[in-house]
Structure 1
Amino acid sequence: MSDRPAVWFYTFGCKANQYDTERIRQELELRGAETAPDADAADVAVINTCTVTNQADANARHLVRRLRRRHPDLRIIVAGCSTAFREADYRALQALEEVDGVVPGHDPAAVARELPGLAEPDPAAAGTPLGRNARGTRAWLKIQDGCDRKCSFCATRIARGVSVSRPPEEVVAEAVILARVHPELVITGIHIGHYGRDLEPAITLAGLCERLLERVPARLRLSSIEATEIDDRLVDLLAESGGRLAPHLHVPLQSGSDRVLRLMRRWHTREAYRSRVLAISERAGPLGLGADIIVGFPGEGQEEFAETRALVEELPFSYLHVFPYSVRDGTAAATLPGRVRGDVAAARSRALRELAFRKGREYEATRVGEMADIVVEGRDDRVLGVTGDYLKVGLSGRAAPGDRFSAVLGGRAGTLVAEVPTTSLTAAAAASGRG
């Protein structure tokens, strides 16, 4: 291995994991490492794992074995949620002959210690956020980690621990730097609705967003957040910020049946979720609205699934993420009776995905002829627009990744288009506050 090892990173799982990978990359670069574009050009591979399902763990092990077969001299380091969930999982990864090092959790300094010969970082630079993934339109802005809830199906909560919030001044400082090269920042974490409760003085997520809107010229987008934890001030910001806080919410539902929600140990009821989503949509529309739903959870019969489907029909979703239940060893749900056959869960998934597709097209149809705030994503000449309410838009005219502009949406549902103005608000212009 050279004095400046080339490191390739691979991330499984959520936006919080993607953020953690970027922080690891930053730490290694501060210590003299280089980032490799692919495994072929790397001396070291760092794999950030996800433990949300047994299959996620299996996928990481499969990648490790494939890398070793193709790159016998590659040093392979494994980190992430799979290494922190259970001692048995940590030991199992250590026992893999293909693995050279296992780091519990996501500690960048601990990963660095697995690479012999790296320098100590410059104290003046340590902890300073870098403009990460400068080629990308979006950057992840992680505001907290961990979760205080106890959903019966969730292994991530166990792996990540209790909710811990970052100080608001630290978050804002990082956001200011990221906005220099990214026209959109995605506010992420494991349970962002609990942001600030553990700080002194306490601050809400809405309070943090207000500070970010005052200081950061980029468009802000919330990642997954519980519907019942969206307070009125946050709704006001969605409605009144002129698109700077993107009018888009992803609000996990998981089930529309109170019986199943109790088995899941969710804290909201069907009616509490329904009434809050309707109130938010009325205040902040037009609003891109998504949700996670688990079908085939132990104890979900035809009646419970029908309740879920009826709720999806009623609420103004523009898309859904639908998952058949997958057992995760070590969680409370793994011991529940009433397992649903795989073919039944698959059929329910298809039914909800078809419903979500139809509702998505219906929402897109309502947006034709209306103005949208558009950020350009992609590479080189393969670009598309993403609206604040999270619609994909074809572009007529020349545009580059990172450009940002307002335009009337044309075309039709399924093939929305927007005309690029002769002068668009680029990432550089956004960073300087122009436009």
Structure 2
Amino acid sequence: MSAGDPSRVGSYHIHTWGCQMNVHDSEKLAGVLEREGYVPATSEDDADVILLNTCSIREKASEKVFSELGRLRRLKRTNSNMLLGVCGCVAQQEGENIYKRAPYVDLVIGPRAIDSIGPALASIRDGGRGALRVTDTEYRSDSIRFPFDEIRRIGESRAKAFVTIIEGCNHRCTYCIVPTTRGREVYRPMADVLQEVRVLARKSVVEIEFLGQTVNAYRDSEGNTLAELLTATAAIDGIRRIRFTTSHPAQMTERLMDAMAAAQPTVCAYLHLPVQSGSSRVLRAMRRGYDRETYLAKIEALRSRIPGMLFGTDIIVGFPGETEDDFLQTITLLDEVQFDTVYSFAYSPRPGTRALELDDDLPPAGKHERLQRLQEHQKGIQAARMATWLGRSVEVLVEGRSKRNEERWTGRTVESRVVNFVGDSAPGRLEWVEITETTPFSLAGRVRASDLDRRRLAPI
């Protein structure tokens, strides 16, 4: 198949699991496919190419992918021309093993080889090997350009866009497989990032979210850090909001915190800062590179610079060796910090991680009991914090229709609060919403008045 030949291309469908990095990778996959002449399928059943963009963080991630492949095999039997591919972290982790266990898979694409999917599909369509592996595991330098970011496909909320600035992770937390699946850190030149942001701003994007497995470790070959990038991005005309995720506490420097404060209110007053445990002893076993006191000092330093700043976090309960006292220290950390969002998980071992060597003496039932206790405790904290928003008017960037109620719109405040509301609106608008209801997880209300400087949306 020649690239862009309309007589030979077809439609595609992408399943996406995992974090914002995977969501953005799916946008890039879609962009590459559309550059080659493919169009989005109306449904999975009608697709000529189905891609699974996978995540390896959660328990039994690979088995869930193979289960999904088994389901799609039946669909492939009814459409012999359909091509099936596995992308993302499970593709990188499993590699050739995917072909051994699922020989009907046509291609395997690692996270760092997204731009090769077009030639791979063309080769297969033209009679090449069906089991074509095009994963790429390492970059040869610590700096990399992502030219295919410019042709990614942006979702329904045209006012918001993800921008990758760093790939990989140099930390070696004992429970984590990410350094194996994503490799060591590589950084985009700041000039390239800013060029992309300017293009997005000209297309009426008003919110930028910088992405990386350890996004605040960013440092390009000229020495520019995330601090300089935030300052420069905030100065770009049209950019109203800047977010970045996911951060590591060890890289939350004074320089970065000062830059965040100086760029208020453009840099959003919300930060996702994974703590994983409230016990310094457990944090040492995890090799996180900080203790409880250091983490709390970072929170205090940020709140002193940016009053009213909100925080989210990740927590693992039942890590090998965690005692009841260790767990209770995590509970007291919730009380002390007053997180607004907590993603919590029961520990489960991952092949290839150092934690496999540790004595995991707490049975699964004990882990899940602690997880339930933690989630109930945090639910109470969130309910109380959310209740303080009742009656307030907040600016919301509209993302689209609510998945639970098509009569409502949904979006986020600058503090990352989810708001569902009724009234005249459209994706990408900035609306002022009066809050009339609260739950532990979201706010609800009605449009009070439209933002007076709402801009006309340009097609992307």
Q: TM-score, normalised by structure 2?
A: 0.84
**Residues 407 and 422 of structure 2 are in contact (CA less than 8 Å); yes or no, is this contact kept in structure 1?**
no
Q: 2:248 aligns with which of 220, 226, 238?
A: 226
1:194 aligns with 2:217: yes
RMSD across aligned positions (CA): 2.7
Q: Which has the higher contact order (CA 8 A, sep 6+)?
A: 1
Residue 413 of structure 2: aligned partner: 387
Residue pairs, 1:19-168, within 5 angstroms: 19-72=24-77, 73=79, 74-85=82-93, 89-95=94-100, 96-116=102-122, 127=148, 129-130=150-151, 132-136=153-157, 138-168=160-190
Secondary structure of the residue aligned to 2:74 is: helix
Please give the per-residue CA displacement for 1:171-230, whole angstroms capped at 9, x wherever unaligned: 12222333425443221111101101xx23111112101111111524222222123422
Shift of 1:293: 0.3
1:296 aligns with 2:318: yes
Q: Give the whole-Å Cα distance in 2 for the aligned partners of 1:241 and 1:405.
A: 22
Which residue identity does 1:306 align to in structure 2? Answer: L
Residue pairs, 1:236-247, within 5 angstroms: 236-239=258-261, 241-247=263-269
Shift of 1:131: 6.2
**Residues 213 and 244 of structure 1 are in contact (CA less than 8 Å); yes or no, is this contact kept in structure 2?**
yes
Which residue identity does 2:75 align to in structure 1? Answer: R
Gaps of 5+ in 1: 120-124
Q: Give the whole-Å Cα distance in 2 for the aligned partners of 1:345 and 1:184.
A: 38
Inter-CA distance 373–134: structure 2 relative to 1 (3 Å threshold): same
Q: Give the whole-Å Cα distance in 1 for the aligned partners of 2:454 and 2:179.
A: 35
Inter-CA distance 347–283: structure 2 relative to 1 (3 Å threshold): same
Secondary structure of the residue aligned to 2:359 is: coil
1:420 aligns with 2:447: yes
Residue 261 of structure 1: aligned partner: 283
Secondary structure of the residue aligned to 1:367 is: coil
Inter-CA distance 382–62: structure 2 relative to 1 (3 Å threshold): farther
Gaps of 5+ in 2: 2-6, 127-145
Inter-CA distance 283–37: structure 2 relative to 1 (3 Å threshold): farther
**Residues 374 and 406 of structure 1 are in contact (CA less than 8 Å); yes or no, is this contact kept in structure 2?**
yes
Residue 297 of structure 2: aligned partner: 275
Secondary structure of the residue aligned to 1:420 is: strand
Shift of 1:66: 0.9
Q: Give the whole-Å Cα distance in 1 for the aligned partners of 2:453 and 2:90.
A: 39
**Residues 208 and 239 of structure 2 are in contact (CA less than 8 Å); yes or no, is this contact kept in structure 1?**
no
Q: Give the whole-Å Cα distance in 1 for the aligned partners of 2:149 and 2:378.
A: 42
Please give the per-residue CA displacement for 1:304-356, whole angstroms capped at 9, x wherever unaligned: 11111111111121121000011111111112113321111111111111121
Which residue identity does 1:68 align to in structure 2? Answer: R
Which deviates the most, 288-297 or 222-231?
222-231
- Identity of aligned pairs, percent? 29
Secondary structure of the residue aligned to 2:341 is: coil
1:210 aligns with 2:231: yes
**Residues 24 and 107 of structure 1 are in contact (CA less than 8 Å); yes or no, is this contact kept in structure 2?**
no
1:348 aligns with 2:375: no
Shift of 1:139: 2.2
Q: Give the whole-Å Cα distance in 2 for the aligned partners of 1:391 and 1:158.
A: 33
**Residues 422 and 446 of structure 2 are in contact (CA less than 8 Å); yes or no, is this contact kept in structure 1?**
yes
Which deviates the most, 132-141 or 68-77?
132-141
Q: Give the whole-Å Cα distance in 2 for the aligned partners of 1:427 and 1:31.
A: 35
Secondary structure of the residue aligned to 1:376 is: strand
Q: Give the whole-Å Cα distance in 1 for the aligned partners of 2:340 and 2:65.
A: 32
Q: Give the whole-Å Cα distance in 1 for the aligned partners of 2:50 and 2:95.
A: 18
Shift of 1:49: 1.7
Q: Give the whole-Å Cα distance in 1 for the aligned partners of 2:305 and 2:209.
A: 22
The size of the alignment, in residue pairs, is 422
Residue 170 of structure 1: aligned partner: 192
Q: Give the whole-Å Cα distance in 1 for the aligned partners of 2:444 and 2:58.
A: 38
**Residues 296 and 344 of structure 1 are in contact (CA less than 8 Å); yes or no, is this contact kept in structure 2?**
yes
Shift of 1:390: 1.7
Inter-CA distance 261–324: structure 2 relative to 1 (3 Å threshold): same
**Residues 132 and 178 of structure 1 are in contact (CA less than 8 Å); yes or no, is this contact kept in structure 2?**
no
Secondary structure of the residue aligned to 2:171 is: coil
Residue 122 of structure 1: aligned partner: none
**Residues 78 and 103 of structure 1 are in contact (CA less than 8 Å); yes or no, is this contact kept in structure 2?**
yes
Shift of 1:430: 7.8
